């Protein structure tokens, strides 16, 4: 049973690190490829369609991967806290 918990903890941290890396890559790509583009229809001036679409897709990837990373971090910290509390009660 202990090995299963340890493996689950390692998998949780791997998910966190993976989605943090995906977030960082998408964030960097958005800043490099389309730095001044707003991924919505209303902007100060006309924007090329390809850049708006690229900014929209990259922002969606950022938001999804950031949300998954935060959820994985919360779950991993909660499991670590639960494990620590069980260790202290024994």
Angle between helices 2-33 and 49-89 in degrees, nearest 10: 160
Tens digit of each residue's pLDDT (9 = 90 or more) over 71-85: 999 998 988 888 888
Tens digit of each residue's pLDDT (9 = 90 or more) over 8-41: 778 888 999 999 999 999 999 999 998 888 766 6
pLDDT at 4 over 80: no
Comparing C-alpha atoms, which of 23, 14, 18, 15 is closest to residue 66?
Answer: 23
Q: Is 16 exposed, middle or buried (0-12, 13-18, 19+ CB in 10 A)?
A: buried
Q: Are 19 and 72 in contact (CB under 8 A)?
A: yes
Q: What is the pLDDT of residue 39?
A: 66
Distance (Å, whole) CA 15 – CA 75: 11
pTM of the model: 0.79
């Amino acid at each position: 049973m202990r090995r299963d918990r340890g493996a689950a903890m390692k998998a949780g941290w791997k998910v966190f690190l993976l989605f943090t890396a995906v977030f960082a890559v998408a964030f960097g790509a958005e800043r490099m490829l389309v730095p001044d583009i707003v991924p919505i229809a209303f902007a100060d001036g006309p924007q090329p369609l390809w850049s708006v679409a690229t900014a929209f897709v990259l922002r969606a990837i950022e938001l999804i991967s950031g949300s998954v990373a935060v959820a994985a971090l919360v779950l991993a910290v909660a499991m670590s806290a639960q494990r620590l509390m069980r260790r202290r009660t024994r």
